[in-house]
Structures are given as C-alpha cells and as structure tokens.
Amino acid sequence: MWDEQVQYFKGKYHCIVPDLPGHGRSRETDFVSIKDCAFQLIHLLEEKKKIKR
C-alpha cells in the first residue's frame, strides 16, 4: 500500500512502514486492540531511534 510513498521519500527521509497485526504480511497475527498496536508502534520507534535519528 505504501510502496509509492516510500520510493518517493527514500533518500530524503528515514521511512518506517510498520506491518500492523491482522494486516499485510502480519494478517496471521491476531489483532488485540488499538491500544496494543500503539504500544507496539511506540516500542518500534524507540528501538529505531537508538539506531538512527
């Protein structure tokens, strides 16, 4: 879904395109709640922040 946007911003920005539970390649992973997804996204961003600003 985001392929064109990622290609456009590639090289200009560090793009993070999460695959949320129950969607895309993670559709086999159970969706728990929006709150759970938010916590997962926060964790992902915190981890990526340590690698690249």
The per-residue pLDDT for 39 is 94
Q: What is the dihedral of CA 23, 28, 29, 34, to 10 degrees?
A: 30
Residue 10 tokens, joined? 């590639």
pLDDT classification of 52: cutoffs 50, 70, 90: low
% of the chain with per-residue pLDDT over 90: 30
